[in-house]
Structure 1
Amino acid sequence: MTHVSGERVELQVPGAEESLGVIRHGHFGRPVLVFPSEAGRAEDFANNGMVAAVQDLVDAGRVSFFCVDSLDGWSWSADEHPTEKRALRHQVYNRWLEQAVLPYIEQQLGTRLPMITVGVSMGAFHAVHFALTHAQAVSLGIGLSGNYDVTTWHGWGETGDATYFANPMHYVAGMEGEHLDWIRQHASVLLVVGEGPFEWHPTRSLPSTREFAELLERKAIPHELDVWGHDSAHDWPWWQKQLAHHLPRFC
Protein backbone atom coordinates (compact mmCIF):
# COMPACT_ATOMS: atom_id res chain seq x y z
CA MET A 1 0.00 0.00 0.00
CA THR A 2 1.46 3.34 -1.06
CA HIS A 3 0.72 6.26 1.21
CA VAL A 4 0.14 9.88 0.30
CA SER A 5 3.19 12.15 0.52
CA GLY A 6 3.28 13.92 3.88
CA GLU A 7 1.01 11.40 5.61
CA ARG A 8 2.13 10.05 8.99
CA VAL A 9 2.24 6.26 9.28
CA GLU A 10 2.71 4.46 12.61
CA LEU A 11 4.98 1.42 12.70
CA GLN A 12 5.06 -0.81 15.76
CA VAL A 13 8.23 -1.09 17.80
CA PRO A 14 9.29 -4.79 17.82
CA GLY A 15 8.48 -6.44 21.13
CA ALA A 16 6.51 -3.46 22.44
CA GLU A 17 2.99 -2.09 22.26
CA GLU A 18 4.25 1.37 21.28
CA SER A 19 4.67 2.64 17.76
CA LEU A 20 6.76 5.37 16.17
CA GLY A 21 5.94 7.46 13.14
CA VAL A 22 7.30 7.75 9.61
CA ILE A 23 6.42 10.48 7.11
CA ARG A 24 7.31 10.28 3.43
CA HIS A 25 7.90 13.36 1.26
CA GLY A 26 8.30 12.72 -2.45
CA HIS A 27 6.94 10.27 -5.00
CA PHE A 28 10.09 8.80 -6.50
CA GLY A 29 13.88 8.98 -6.42
CA ARG A 30 16.77 8.18 -4.10
CA PRO A 31 15.49 7.16 -0.65
CA VAL A 32 16.75 9.35 2.18
CA LEU A 33 16.15 8.25 5.77
CA VAL A 34 15.88 11.40 7.90
CA PHE A 35 16.53 11.59 11.64
CA PRO A 36 15.25 14.59 13.64
CA SER A 37 17.20 16.62 16.17
CA GLU A 38 17.25 15.51 19.80
CA ALA A 39 13.96 13.96 20.95
CA GLY A 40 12.30 15.21 17.76
CA ARG A 41 9.48 13.90 15.60
CA ALA A 42 9.02 12.96 11.96
CA GLU A 43 7.17 16.22 11.33
CA ASP A 44 10.17 18.38 12.26
CA PHE A 45 12.04 18.06 8.96
CA ALA A 46 9.26 19.62 6.90
CA ASN A 47 8.07 21.98 9.62
CA ASN A 48 11.55 23.52 9.80
CA GLY A 49 11.87 24.15 6.08
CA MET A 50 14.17 21.29 5.15
CA VAL A 51 11.90 19.78 2.50
CA ALA A 52 11.21 23.21 1.03
CA ALA A 53 14.96 23.83 0.84
CA VAL A 54 15.27 21.06 -1.76
CA GLN A 55 11.72 21.13 -3.14
CA ASP A 56 13.08 21.07 -6.70
CA LEU A 57 14.63 17.64 -6.06
CA VAL A 58 11.39 16.34 -4.57
CA ASP A 59 9.23 17.66 -7.42
CA ALA A 60 11.61 16.26 -10.04
CA GLY A 61 11.39 12.77 -8.54
CA ARG A 62 15.06 12.74 -7.61
CA VAL A 63 14.58 12.12 -3.88
CA SER A 64 12.07 10.60 -1.46
CA PHE A 65 12.50 11.54 2.20
CA PHE A 66 11.42 9.07 4.87
CA CYS A 67 11.38 11.05 8.12
CA VAL A 68 11.23 9.13 11.39
CA ASP A 69 10.44 9.86 15.02
CA SER A 70 13.26 9.68 17.52
CA LEU A 71 13.32 7.63 20.71
CA ASP A 72 15.89 9.91 22.35
CA GLY A 73 13.62 10.96 25.19
CA TRP A 74 13.61 7.36 26.41
CA SER A 75 17.22 6.59 25.52
CA TRP A 76 20.05 9.09 25.02
CA SER A 77 18.27 12.08 26.54
CA ALA A 78 17.24 10.19 29.69
CA ASP A 79 20.11 11.64 31.73
CA GLU A 80 18.86 10.07 34.95
CA HIS A 81 20.09 6.72 33.65
CA PRO A 82 23.75 5.71 33.23
CA THR A 83 25.21 5.77 29.74
CA GLU A 84 25.19 1.98 29.37
CA LYS A 85 21.46 1.75 30.11
CA ARG A 86 20.76 4.50 27.60
CA ALA A 87 22.84 2.62 25.03
CA LEU A 88 20.85 -0.56 25.71
CA ARG A 89 17.62 1.36 25.17
CA HIS A 90 19.04 2.71 21.92
CA GLN A 91 19.18 -0.89 20.69
CA VAL A 92 15.37 -0.94 20.78
CA TYR A 93 15.32 2.00 18.38
CA ASN A 94 17.79 0.24 16.10
CA ARG A 95 15.57 -2.84 16.00
CA TRP A 96 12.61 -0.66 14.99
CA LEU A 97 14.65 0.87 12.17
CA GLU A 98 15.86 -2.53 10.99
CA GLN A 99 12.67 -4.56 11.37
CA ALA A 100 9.98 -1.95 10.65
CA VAL A 101 11.36 1.10 8.84
CA LEU A 102 13.71 -0.50 6.30
CA PRO A 103 11.07 -3.02 5.12
CA TYR A 104 8.50 -0.21 4.94
CA ILE A 105 10.79 1.89 2.73
CA GLU A 106 11.48 -1.07 0.46
CA GLN A 107 7.75 -1.79 0.20
CA GLN A 108 7.02 1.85 -0.60
CA LEU A 109 9.61 1.99 -3.36
CA GLY A 110 8.97 -1.48 -4.75
CA THR A 111 12.70 -2.06 -4.90
CA ARG A 112 15.84 -1.86 -2.79
CA LEU A 113 17.93 1.17 -3.70
CA PRO A 114 21.13 2.37 -1.99
CA MET A 115 19.91 4.67 0.75
CA ILE A 116 21.20 7.94 2.17
CA THR A 117 20.78 8.89 5.83
CA VAL A 118 20.58 12.51 6.97
CA GLY A 119 20.31 14.05 10.41
CA VAL A 120 20.86 17.31 12.26
CA SER A 121 22.35 17.76 15.75
CA MET A 122 21.74 14.48 17.64
CA GLY A 123 20.09 13.23 14.48
CA ALA A 124 23.47 13.58 12.77
CA PHE A 125 24.84 10.97 15.15
CA HIS A 126 21.92 8.66 14.29
CA ALA A 127 22.41 9.17 10.54
CA VAL A 128 26.15 8.52 10.56
CA HIS A 129 25.95 5.67 13.07
CA PHE A 130 23.20 3.93 11.10
CA ALA A 131 25.14 4.34 7.85
CA LEU A 132 28.30 2.84 9.31
CA THR A 133 26.48 -0.07 10.92
CA HIS A 134 24.12 -0.78 8.00
CA ALA A 135 26.35 -0.25 4.99
CA GLN A 136 24.61 -3.15 3.24
CA ALA A 137 21.59 -0.83 2.86
CA VAL A 138 23.04 2.68 3.26
CA SER A 139 25.77 4.01 1.00
CA LEU A 140 26.10 7.51 2.47
CA GLY A 141 25.52 9.06 5.89
CA ILE A 142 25.22 12.85 6.08
CA GLY A 143 25.67 14.46 9.49
CA LEU A 144 24.88 18.16 9.96
CA SER A 145 26.27 19.62 13.21
CA GLY A 146 26.71 16.31 14.99
CA ASN A 147 28.56 15.08 18.06
CA TYR A 148 29.81 11.55 17.45
CA ASP A 149 30.99 10.57 20.93
CA VAL A 150 28.04 9.44 23.05
CA THR A 151 30.12 9.43 26.24
CA THR A 152 30.17 13.25 26.12
CA TRP A 153 26.35 13.43 26.41
CA HIS A 154 26.12 13.87 30.21
CA GLY A 155 27.68 10.43 30.45
CA TRP A 156 28.09 8.66 33.78
CA GLY A 157 28.48 5.17 35.20
CA GLU A 158 30.36 2.13 33.98
CA THR A 159 30.16 1.49 30.25
CA GLY A 160 30.31 -1.80 28.37
CA ASP A 161 29.58 -3.36 24.99
CA ALA A 162 26.30 -1.52 24.43
CA THR A 163 28.00 1.86 24.70
CA TYR A 164 31.04 0.77 22.70
CA PHE A 165 29.01 -0.48 19.74
CA ALA A 166 26.75 2.60 19.80
CA ASN A 167 29.66 5.04 19.84
CA PRO A 168 31.22 5.84 16.44
CA MET A 169 34.32 7.37 18.04
CA HIS A 170 35.00 4.05 19.75
CA TYR A 171 33.95 1.30 17.35
CA VAL A 172 35.45 3.01 14.28
CA ALA A 173 38.74 3.29 16.16
CA GLY A 174 38.52 -0.46 16.77
CA MET A 175 37.78 -1.44 13.16
CA GLU A 176 40.42 -3.57 11.49
CA GLY A 177 40.94 -6.44 9.08
CA GLU A 178 38.24 -7.69 6.74
CA HIS A 179 35.47 -5.70 8.40
CA LEU A 180 37.35 -2.44 7.92
CA ASP A 181 38.06 -3.35 4.30
CA TRP A 182 34.35 -4.03 3.74
CA ILE A 183 33.36 -0.70 5.33
CA ARG A 184 35.86 1.12 3.13
CA GLN A 185 34.23 -0.43 0.05
CA HIS A 186 30.58 0.15 0.99
CA ALA A 187 30.27 3.12 3.37
CA SER A 188 30.88 6.84 3.02
CA VAL A 189 30.27 9.78 5.32
CA LEU A 190 29.72 13.51 4.79
CA LEU A 191 30.28 15.65 7.89
CA VAL A 192 29.11 19.27 7.81
CA VAL A 193 29.43 21.74 10.68
CA GLY A 194 29.67 25.47 11.26
CA GLU A 195 31.97 27.58 13.41
CA GLY A 196 29.18 29.85 14.64
CA PRO A 197 26.80 30.01 17.63
CA PHE A 198 26.23 26.79 19.59
CA GLU A 199 28.49 24.67 17.38
CA TRP A 200 31.14 24.62 20.11
CA HIS A 201 29.21 25.03 23.35
CA PRO A 202 27.12 23.29 24.60
CA THR A 203 26.84 20.85 21.68
CA ARG A 204 30.57 20.22 21.01
CA SER A 205 29.53 19.67 17.40
CA LEU A 206 32.52 21.50 15.93
CA PRO A 207 35.31 19.74 17.86
CA SER A 208 33.57 16.37 17.69
CA THR A 209 33.04 16.63 13.92
CA ARG A 210 36.69 17.48 13.40
CA GLU A 211 37.86 14.67 15.69
CA PHE A 212 35.62 12.15 13.96
CA ALA A 213 36.80 13.26 10.51
CA GLU A 214 40.40 12.75 11.66
CA LEU A 215 39.51 9.24 12.82
CA LEU A 216 37.86 8.41 9.49
CA GLU A 217 40.97 9.73 7.75
CA ARG A 218 43.23 7.47 9.84
CA LYS A 219 41.05 4.47 9.00
CA ALA A 220 40.90 5.44 5.29
CA ILE A 221 37.08 5.32 5.34
CA PRO A 222 35.65 7.44 2.50
CA HIS A 223 34.43 10.75 3.90
CA GLU A 224 34.19 14.48 3.36
CA LEU A 225 34.50 17.26 5.94
CA ASP A 226 32.87 20.62 5.18
CA VAL A 227 33.34 23.30 7.85
CA TRP A 228 31.26 26.44 7.34
CA GLY A 229 32.16 29.88 8.72
CA HIS A 230 31.62 31.76 11.96
CA ASP A 231 28.18 32.95 10.84
CA SER A 232 26.97 29.36 10.44
CA ALA A 233 24.98 28.49 13.56
CA HIS A 234 23.63 25.29 15.07
CA ASP A 235 20.14 26.01 13.74
CA TRP A 236 17.64 25.12 11.04
CA PRO A 237 18.25 28.01 8.60
CA TRP A 238 21.87 26.90 8.22
CA TRP A 239 20.96 23.23 7.94
CA GLN A 240 18.57 24.17 5.13
CA LYS A 241 21.44 25.82 3.25
CA GLN A 242 23.82 22.94 3.90
CA LEU A 243 21.32 20.34 2.70
CA ALA A 244 20.54 22.35 -0.44
CA HIS A 245 24.26 22.75 -1.10
CA HIS A 246 25.19 19.07 -0.82
CA LEU A 247 22.20 16.83 -1.58
CA PRO A 248 21.77 17.51 -5.34
CA ARG A 249 25.01 15.75 -6.27
CA PHE A 250 23.86 12.51 -4.63
CA CYS A 251 20.34 12.26 -6.07
Structure 2
Amino acid sequence: MSDVDGQRVDLPVPGRDVSLGVIRHGHFGRPVLVFPSEGGRAEDFAAHGMTDAVRDLLDQGRVSFFCVDSADQHTWSDNSLTTEERAHGHQVYTRWLEESVLPWIHQQLGGRQEIATLGVSMGAYHAVHFALTHADVAPLAMGLSGNYDVTSWHGWGERGEATYFANPTDYVAGMHGGHLDWIRSRVGVLLVVGQGAFETHPTGALPSSRAFAALLGSKGIPHQLDLWGEDVAHDWPWWQRQLAHHLPRFC
Protein backbone atom coordinates (compact mmCIF):
# COMPACT_ATOMS: atom_id res chain seq x y z
CA MET A 1 0.00 0.00 0.00
CA SER A 2 1.39 3.40 -0.99
CA ASP A 3 2.17 5.86 1.76
CA VAL A 4 1.78 8.83 -0.60
CA ASP A 5 -1.90 8.35 -1.42
CA GLY A 6 -3.46 11.79 -1.82
CA GLN A 7 -0.20 13.59 -1.11
CA ARG A 8 1.60 15.84 -3.56
CA VAL A 9 5.09 14.74 -4.62
CA ASP A 10 7.24 17.20 -6.58
CA LEU A 11 9.48 15.71 -9.25
CA PRO A 12 12.32 17.54 -11.04
CA VAL A 13 11.99 18.78 -14.60
CA PRO A 14 15.05 17.53 -16.53
CA GLY A 15 17.46 20.32 -17.38
CA ARG A 16 15.49 22.95 -15.42
CA ASP A 17 15.76 24.20 -11.87
CA VAL A 18 12.05 23.60 -11.28
CA SER A 19 9.75 20.75 -10.37
CA LEU A 20 6.18 19.74 -11.13
CA GLY A 21 3.82 17.73 -8.99
CA VAL A 22 2.05 14.39 -9.07
CA ILE A 23 -0.60 13.02 -6.73
CA ARG A 24 -1.66 9.40 -6.40
CA HIS A 25 -5.22 8.37 -5.55
CA GLY A 26 -5.88 4.68 -4.88
CA HIS A 27 -3.71 1.79 -3.82
CA PHE A 28 -4.37 -0.96 -6.37
CA GLY A 29 -5.90 -1.58 -9.76
CA ARG A 30 -5.26 -0.26 -13.23
CA PRO A 31 -2.88 2.72 -13.16
CA VAL A 32 -4.17 5.80 -14.97
CA LEU A 33 -2.04 8.86 -15.74
CA VAL A 34 -4.34 11.87 -15.43
CA PHE A 35 -3.77 15.24 -17.12
CA PRO A 36 -5.64 18.34 -15.86
CA SER A 37 -7.53 20.86 -17.94
CA GLU A 38 -5.64 23.81 -19.41
CA GLY A 39 -3.08 25.23 -17.00
CA GLY A 40 -4.28 22.97 -14.22
CA ARG A 41 -2.61 21.24 -11.32
CA ALA A 42 -2.48 17.73 -9.96
CA GLU A 43 -4.96 18.69 -7.23
CA ASP A 44 -7.72 19.55 -9.71
CA PHE A 45 -8.91 16.01 -10.42
CA ALA A 46 -10.03 15.36 -6.85
CA ALA A 47 -11.03 18.97 -6.18
CA HIS A 48 -13.52 18.86 -9.06
CA GLY A 49 -15.17 15.65 -7.91
CA MET A 50 -13.63 13.22 -10.38
CA THR A 51 -12.34 10.79 -7.76
CA ASP A 52 -15.68 10.90 -5.96
CA ALA A 53 -17.44 10.10 -9.23
CA VAL A 54 -15.68 6.72 -9.32
CA ARG A 55 -15.20 6.23 -5.59
CA ASP A 56 -16.48 2.66 -5.80
CA LEU A 57 -13.72 1.72 -8.24
CA LEU A 58 -11.09 3.27 -5.98
CA ASP A 59 -12.47 1.59 -2.88
CA GLN A 60 -12.61 -1.78 -4.64
CA GLY A 61 -8.97 -1.49 -5.69
CA ARG A 62 -9.79 -1.48 -9.39
CA VAL A 63 -8.01 1.76 -10.34
CA SER A 64 -5.21 4.07 -9.21
CA PHE A 65 -4.97 7.62 -10.54
CA PHE A 66 -1.64 9.38 -10.96
CA CYS A 67 -2.56 13.05 -11.46
CA VAL A 68 0.07 15.44 -12.78
CA ASP A 69 0.54 19.19 -13.07
CA SER A 70 0.36 20.80 -16.48
CA ALA A 71 2.96 23.12 -17.94
CA ASP A 72 0.54 24.73 -20.38
CA GLN A 73 1.20 28.24 -19.10
CA HIS A 74 4.74 27.92 -20.45
CA THR A 75 3.80 26.11 -23.65
CA TRP A 76 0.43 25.88 -25.43
CA SER A 77 -1.26 28.64 -23.43
CA ASP A 78 1.48 31.23 -23.94
CA ASN A 79 0.16 33.25 -26.86
CA SER A 80 3.34 35.34 -26.94
CA LEU A 81 5.13 32.31 -28.40
CA THR A 82 4.85 30.97 -31.91
CA THR A 83 3.26 27.56 -32.30
CA GLU A 84 6.69 26.08 -33.01
CA GLU A 85 8.15 27.64 -29.85
CA ARG A 86 5.27 26.25 -27.83
CA ALA A 87 5.91 22.81 -29.31
CA HIS A 88 9.56 23.00 -28.29
CA GLY A 89 8.46 23.87 -24.76
CA HIS A 90 6.14 20.90 -24.80
CA GLN A 91 9.13 18.66 -25.48
CA VAL A 92 10.50 19.63 -22.05
CA TYR A 93 7.20 18.62 -20.44
CA THR A 94 7.32 15.30 -22.28
CA ARG A 95 10.83 14.69 -20.94
CA TRP A 96 9.52 15.30 -17.43
CA LEU A 97 6.84 12.68 -17.98
CA GLU A 98 9.33 10.20 -19.42
CA GLU A 99 12.25 10.73 -17.05
CA SER A 100 10.58 11.70 -13.77
CA VAL A 101 6.91 10.72 -13.74
CA LEU A 102 6.95 7.28 -15.36
CA PRO A 103 9.85 6.01 -13.21
CA TRP A 104 8.07 7.30 -10.09
CA ILE A 105 4.84 5.58 -11.12
CA HIS A 106 6.66 2.31 -11.78
CA GLN A 107 8.39 2.59 -8.40
CA GLN A 108 5.00 3.07 -6.77
CA LEU A 109 3.64 0.04 -8.59
CA GLY A 110 6.59 -2.16 -7.70
CA GLY A 111 7.71 -2.53 -11.31
CA ARG A 112 6.97 -1.54 -14.87
CA GLN A 113 3.29 -1.83 -15.84
CA GLU A 114 1.22 -0.61 -18.73
CA ILE A 115 -0.83 2.47 -17.88
CA ALA A 116 -3.87 4.18 -19.30
CA THR A 117 -4.09 7.93 -19.86
CA LEU A 118 -6.99 10.27 -19.15
CA GLY A 119 -7.58 13.97 -19.57
CA VAL A 120 -10.28 16.61 -19.86
CA SER A 121 -10.27 19.62 -22.20
CA MET A 122 -6.63 20.39 -23.05
CA GLY A 123 -5.72 17.46 -20.83
CA ALA A 124 -7.53 15.22 -23.31
CA TYR A 125 -5.01 16.30 -25.94
CA HIS A 126 -2.16 15.42 -23.58
CA ALA A 127 -3.67 12.01 -22.78
CA VAL A 128 -4.28 11.02 -26.40
CA HIS A 129 -0.97 12.43 -27.63
CA PHE A 130 0.99 10.65 -24.91
CA ALA A 131 -0.59 7.28 -25.69
CA LEU A 132 -0.07 7.62 -29.43
CA THR A 133 3.60 8.52 -28.92
CA HIS A 134 4.26 6.12 -26.02
CA ALA A 135 2.20 3.11 -27.01
CA ASP A 136 4.77 0.78 -25.46
CA VAL A 137 3.75 1.95 -21.98
CA ALA A 138 0.36 3.63 -22.49
CA PRO A 139 -1.86 1.64 -24.88
CA LEU A 140 -5.19 3.16 -23.81
CA ALA A 141 -6.18 6.84 -23.95
CA MET A 142 -9.41 8.43 -22.75
CA GLY A 143 -9.99 11.99 -23.94
CA LEU A 144 -12.98 13.97 -22.63
CA SER A 145 -13.89 17.14 -24.56
CA GLY A 146 -10.53 17.42 -26.30
CA ASN A 147 -9.20 19.37 -29.26
CA TYR A 148 -6.54 17.35 -31.04
CA ASP A 149 -5.18 19.97 -33.45
CA VAL A 150 -2.64 22.23 -31.73
CA THR A 151 -2.54 24.55 -34.74
CA SER A 152 -6.08 25.67 -33.90
CA TRP A 153 -5.03 27.06 -30.49
CA HIS A 154 -4.53 30.72 -31.44
CA GLY A 155 -1.31 29.71 -33.16
CA TRP A 156 0.89 31.91 -35.28
CA GLY A 157 4.25 31.84 -37.02
CA GLU A 158 5.85 29.24 -39.22
CA ARG A 159 5.39 25.65 -38.13
CA GLY A 160 8.10 23.01 -38.31
CA GLU A 161 9.09 19.57 -37.11
CA ALA A 162 8.38 20.22 -33.42
CA THR A 163 4.79 21.20 -34.16
CA TYR A 164 4.28 18.26 -36.50
CA PHE A 165 5.39 15.69 -33.93
CA ALA A 166 3.38 17.36 -31.15
CA ASN A 167 0.19 17.48 -33.18
CA PRO A 168 -1.88 14.28 -33.44
CA THR A 169 -3.85 15.67 -36.36
CA ASP A 170 -0.58 15.98 -38.30
CA TYR A 171 1.38 12.89 -37.38
CA VAL A 172 -1.53 10.44 -37.40
CA ALA A 173 -2.29 11.59 -40.94
CA GLY A 174 1.33 10.83 -41.80
CA MET A 175 1.45 7.37 -40.21
CA HIS A 176 2.11 4.47 -42.60
CA GLY A 177 3.89 1.16 -42.95
CA GLY A 178 5.23 -0.82 -40.04
CA HIS A 179 4.80 1.93 -37.47
CA LEU A 180 1.12 2.30 -38.33
CA ASP A 181 0.67 -1.47 -38.12
CA TRP A 182 2.24 -1.43 -34.66
CA ILE A 183 0.03 1.45 -33.48
CA ARG A 184 -3.03 -0.41 -34.77
CA SER A 185 -2.00 -3.46 -32.76
CA ARG A 186 -1.26 -1.54 -29.57
CA VAL A 187 -3.47 1.50 -29.06
CA GLY A 188 -7.11 2.09 -28.25
CA VAL A 189 -8.52 5.63 -28.09
CA LEU A 190 -11.78 6.73 -26.48
CA LEU A 191 -13.03 10.19 -27.45
CA VAL A 192 -15.99 11.56 -25.48
CA VAL A 193 -17.54 14.95 -26.13
CA GLY A 194 -20.81 16.76 -25.56
CA GLN A 195 -22.77 18.86 -28.02
CA GLY A 196 -23.70 21.64 -25.60
CA ALA A 197 -22.20 24.83 -24.23
CA PHE A 198 -18.56 25.56 -25.02
CA GLU A 199 -17.96 22.25 -26.81
CA THR A 200 -17.90 24.01 -30.17
CA HIS A 201 -17.03 27.62 -29.26
CA PRO A 202 -14.50 28.53 -28.08
CA THR A 203 -12.87 25.14 -27.42
CA GLY A 204 -13.44 23.43 -30.77
CA ALA A 205 -13.76 20.14 -28.89
CA LEU A 206 -16.82 18.84 -30.75
CA PRO A 207 -15.62 19.41 -34.32
CA SER A 208 -12.10 18.33 -33.43
CA SER A 209 -13.25 15.10 -31.75
CA ARG A 210 -15.37 14.25 -34.77
CA ALA A 211 -12.58 15.03 -37.21
CA PHE A 212 -9.96 13.17 -35.19
CA ALA A 213 -12.18 10.10 -34.85
CA ALA A 214 -12.60 10.10 -38.62
CA LEU A 215 -8.82 10.35 -39.04
CA LEU A 216 -8.23 7.45 -36.66
CA GLY A 217 -10.83 5.46 -38.57
CA SER A 218 -9.16 6.19 -41.90
CA LYS A 219 -5.92 4.75 -40.48
CA GLY A 220 -7.58 1.72 -38.95
CA ILE A 221 -6.57 2.71 -35.41
CA PRO A 222 -8.99 1.26 -32.84
CA HIS A 223 -11.12 4.00 -31.34
CA GLN A 224 -14.57 4.94 -30.11
CA LEU A 225 -16.31 8.30 -30.46
CA ASP A 226 -19.04 8.82 -27.87
CA LEU A 227 -21.15 11.91 -28.58
CA TRP A 228 -23.29 13.12 -25.69
CA GLY A 229 -26.36 15.31 -26.03
CA GLU A 230 -26.95 18.95 -26.82
CA ASP A 231 -27.38 19.69 -23.10
CA VAL A 232 -23.91 18.34 -22.29
CA ALA A 233 -21.47 21.16 -21.63
CA HIS A 234 -17.70 21.51 -21.50
CA ASP A 235 -17.59 21.32 -17.72
CA TRP A 236 -16.66 19.16 -14.75
CA PRO A 237 -20.12 17.85 -13.78
CA TRP A 238 -20.43 16.25 -17.21
CA TRP A 239 -16.88 14.91 -17.15
CA GLN A 240 -17.71 13.26 -13.83
CA ARG A 241 -20.64 11.46 -15.45
CA GLN A 242 -18.64 10.50 -18.53
CA LEU A 243 -15.84 9.05 -16.42
CA ALA A 244 -18.27 7.08 -14.26
CA HIS A 245 -19.95 5.76 -17.41
CA HIS A 246 -16.84 4.59 -19.23
CA LEU A 247 -14.12 3.77 -16.70
CA PRO A 248 -15.61 0.57 -15.20
CA ARG A 249 -15.10 -1.39 -18.41
CA PHE A 250 -11.40 -0.57 -18.49
CA CYS A 251 -10.48 -1.63 -14.96
CA distance in 2, matches of 1:211, 1:122: 16
Structure 1 residues 35-78: Cα deviation after superposition (integer angstroms, max 9, x where no partner):
00000000000000000000000011100000000000000000
Structure 1 residues 89-120: Cα deviation after superposition (integer angstroms, max 9, x where no partner):
00000000000000000000102222110000
Per-residue deviation at 1:2?
Answer: 4.0
Corresponding residue number in structure 1 for 2:172: 172
Residue 135 (str. 1) matches residue 135 (str. 2):
yes
Match for 2:178: what amino acid?
Answer: E
Show the 5 A alignment for 1:13-162: 13-162=13-162
- Do the aligned partners of 1:31 and 1:66 also contact (CA within 8 Å) in 2? yes
- Do the aligned partners of 1:141 and 1:189 also contact (CA within 8 Å) in 2? yes
Structure 1 residues 190-245: Cα deviation after superposition (integer angstroms, max 9, x where no partner):
00000000000000000000000000000000000000000110000000000000
Corresponding residue number in structure 2 for 1:222: 222
Match for 2:73: what amino acid?
Answer: G
Corresponding residue number in structure 2 for 1:199: 199
Per-residue deviation at 1:4?
Answer: 2.5
Runs of 4+ in 1 over 4 A off after TM superposition: none
CA-based RMSD: 0.9
CA distance in 1, matches of 2:56, 2:145: 24
Match for 1:230: what amino acid?
Answer: E
Per-residue deviation at 1:139?
Answer: 1.4
| SS of the residue 2:79 aligns to | coil
The answer for unaligned runs of 5 or more in structure 2 is none
Residue 242 (str. 1) matches residue 242 (str. 2):
yes
CA distance in 1, matches of 2:4, 2:19: 19
| SS of the residue 2:126 aligns to | helix
State the TM-score, normalized to the length of structure 2.
0.99
The answer for unaligned runs of 5 or more in structure 1 is none
- Do the aligned partners of 2:36 and 2:120 also contact (CA within 8 Å) in 1? yes
CA distance in 1, matches of 2:124, 2:223: 14
- Do the aligned partners of 2:2 and 2:27 also contact (CA within 8 Å) in 1? no
CA distance in 2, matches of 1:68, 1:181: 30
- Do the aligned partners of 1:199 and 1:206 also contact (CA within 8 Å) in 2? yes
CA distance in 1, matches of 2:104, 2:4: 14
Match for 1:137: what amino acid?
Answer: V
CA distance in 1, matches of 2:44, 2:236: 10
CA distance in 2, matches of 1:114, 1:190: 17
- Do the aligned partners of 1:30 and 1:113 also contact (CA within 8 Å) in 2? no
Name the % identity.
71
State the TM-score, normalized to the length of structure 1.
0.99
Aligned residues: 251
CA distance in 2, matches of 1:160, 1:188: 28
CA distance in 1, matches of 2:4, 2:81: 39
CA distance in 2, matches of 1:91, 1:3: 31
Per-residue deviation at 1:144?
Answer: 0.2
Corresponding residue number in structure 1 for 2:210: 210
Structure 1 residues 166-192: Cα deviation after superposition (integer angstroms, max 9, x where no partner):
000000000000000000011110000
